[in-house]
Amino acid sequence: MKQDILPVSGTQGQFPIVQNITLTEGGIVNLTCRVENNDNNSLQWSNPAQQTLFFGDKKALRDNRIELVRATSQELTISISEVTLGDEGLYTCSLFTMPVKTAKAYVTVLGVPKKPEINGLTKPAMEGDLITLTCVTSGSKPAAEVRWFRNEKEIKGAKEVNASGRTFTVKSSLRLQVDRNDDGVAYTCKVDHVALTATPQQTTEVLEVHYAPRVEIKHSLTIPQEGQYLKLECVSKGNPSPDPVLWTKDGGDLPDLDRMIVEGRELTFTSLNKTDNGTYRCEATNHLGTNHAEYVLFVYDPNALEQRGPDHALIGGVVAVVVFVTLCLIIVLGRYLARHKGTYLTNEAKGADDAPDADTAIINADGNHAHAEEKKEYFI
């Protein structure tokens, strides 16, 4: 309960002093009126309808909720229990001097919001369904705040506020297209309000989503070899749970072998053999569909794997030699092209040695080429 002291102007000690009060619906309010100096003048409390509640120590209104707490020449305190929203308003304390002096205290009554309800949840929902969750709380004054949480993360809803007499009804909606990731997710609606001093009121609903299975096969070996132990695990996720799963080999039933064991979702080979080679399928089914995964098993000979080691080394050496030779050829070709270009430029510049101008130099250069051609023909 909150109280605000209202100072009253006037002659010191000759005016009543009261306080504004805020409390929640259903609580008890104490109305106190004090006078510092009073010459035996009577004090009176009146309600917002101007009905006298107490005149001095005399009760004037028949209401079992109203009681006298203290009555002296300097103080008149009364209490009202089980306060309702209708008790809100301006209360008056009167000091019967000539003229009568008054002070007014405003009593604010907070409407406590009711525990929220979540509507629109279908159990179970199907993957891909579009659903609308609605959270409703009523009885708040002032209007409450409504917040949504997906697990612990806050998400935004569409808020709507409607007045109902002195109180408000607040509604917040969420539109969801559910998928398998929503299965088992907790959606919580929290109500925040000034009247909720301890903890906010909240309601939680856990979403159940049915979806078709998805399957994958996990294996314990990278390179299966003869004589080794191998475990294949069929990991299937679906709701309802697709139990049991079905193992097949090459489109038919599994061979009846003592070293091949099926336990629930696991297919175990206690000692691999080349006869185990083939395609193994795990199939899972629920009422929404069927899904499968395949694992191609090829069992290697350990001796053959050991012989393959030098082959890899030989291949690596050959590749290194080829790379080295290629680099050498690139270097030689580059140097040859550079020298050929320099010789060409040198021959071209010979015609300009004794030329007085650029034109003569060009003619001389052409002549040199001509002589070179003649000389070449002569030797041929």
Q: What is the pLDDT of residues 337-347, one digit of tens each?
A: 767 655 544 44
Q: What pLDDT was estimated at residue 39?
A: 82
Residue 7 confidence class, pLDDT cut points 50, 70, 90: very low
Q: How far apart (Å, rounded) are the C-alpha atoms in residues 9 and 267?
A: 92
CATH topology classification for 117-207: Immunoglobulin-like (2.60.40)
C-alpha distance from residue 206 to each of 121, 126, 133, 192, 203 (Å): 9, 14, 12, 21, 10
Q: What pLDDT was estimated at residue 304?
A: 78
- Name the DSSP class of 252: B
Closest CA to 283 of 296, 272, 294: 294
Closest CA to 122 of 211, 205, 202: 205
Token look-up 């020449």 returns: 73
**pLDDT tens for residues 274-327?**
999 999 999 999 999 999 999 999 999 988 776 655 555 455 566 767 777 788
pLDDT greater than 60 at residue 348: no
Q: What pLDDT was estimated at residue 200?
A: 81
Q: What pLDDT was estimated at residue 105?
A: 97
Mean pLDDT over 353-376 rounds to: 46
Three-point CA angle 84, 85, 90, nearest 5°: 105
Percent of the chain surpassing pLDDT 70: 82
366 three-class SS:
helix
**pLDDT tens for residues 56-88?**
999 999 999 999 999 998 999 999 999 999 999
Q: How far apart (Å, rounded) are the C-alpha atoms in residues 170 and 150?
A: 20
- Side-chain-side CA neighbours of residue 372 (13 Å): 10
Contact indicator for 77, 32 with CB cutoff of 8 Å: yes
Residue 13 confidence class, pLDDT cut points 50, 70, 90: low
Mean pLDDT over 177-184 rounds to: 93
Do 2-110 and 117-207 come out as alike in CATH topology? yes
Domain range summary for the chain, segments of one domain joined by +: 2-110, 117-207, 212-297
Q: What pLDDT was estimated at residue 380?
A: 32
Residue 375 confidence class, pLDDT cut points 50, 70, 90: very low
Residue 137 confidence class, pLDDT cut points 50, 70, 90: very high
Instruction: Render 320-354 in DSSP notation, one character per residue.
Output: HHHHHHHHHHHHHHHHHHHHHHHHHHHHHHGGGSS
Closest CA to 204 of 116, 132, 138: 116
For residue 303, give the H/E element and its range.
helix 302-349
Mean pLDDT over 25-34 rounds to: 96
Contact indicator for 209, 182 with CB cutoff of 8 Å: yes
Q: What pLDDT was estimated at residue 166?
A: 92
Calculate the average pLDDT of the chain: 85
Stretch among 31-40, 179-188, 230-239, 301-310 having the lowest mean pLDDT = 301-310
pLDDT greater than 80 at residue 374: no
Q: How far apart (Å, rounded) are the C-alpha atoms in residues 349 and 365?
A: 7
pLDDT greater than 70 at residue 103: yes
Stretch among 79-93, 101-115, 197-211 having the lowest mean pLDDT = 197-211
More confident residue, 249 or 14: 249
148 Cβ neighbours under 8 A, 6+ residues apart: 135, 154, 155, 156, 157, 172, 174, 187, 188, 189, 190
Q: Which two tokens stand for residue 294?
A: 């395949």
Q: What pLDDT was estimated at residue 90?
A: 98
Q: How far apart (Å, rounded) are the C-alpha atoms in residues 43 and 54?
A: 8
Residue 157 confidence class, pLDDT cut points 50, 70, 90: very high
| Amino acid identity for residue 246 in this structure | L
CATH 2.40.420.20 is the classification of domain 2-110: no
Residue 3 confidence class, pLDDT cut points 50, 70, 90: low
Residue 336 confidence class, pLDDT cut points 50, 70, 90: confident
Q: How far apart (Å, rounded) are the C-alpha atoms in residues 191 and 132?
A: 19
- Output the pTM of the full model: 0.65
| Amino acid identity for residue 154 in this structure | E
Residue 216 confidence class, pLDDT cut points 50, 70, 90: very high
Architecture (CATH level 2) of domain 212-297: Sandwich (2.60)
Q: How far apart (Å, rounded) are the C-alpha atoms in residues 187 and 159?
A: 16
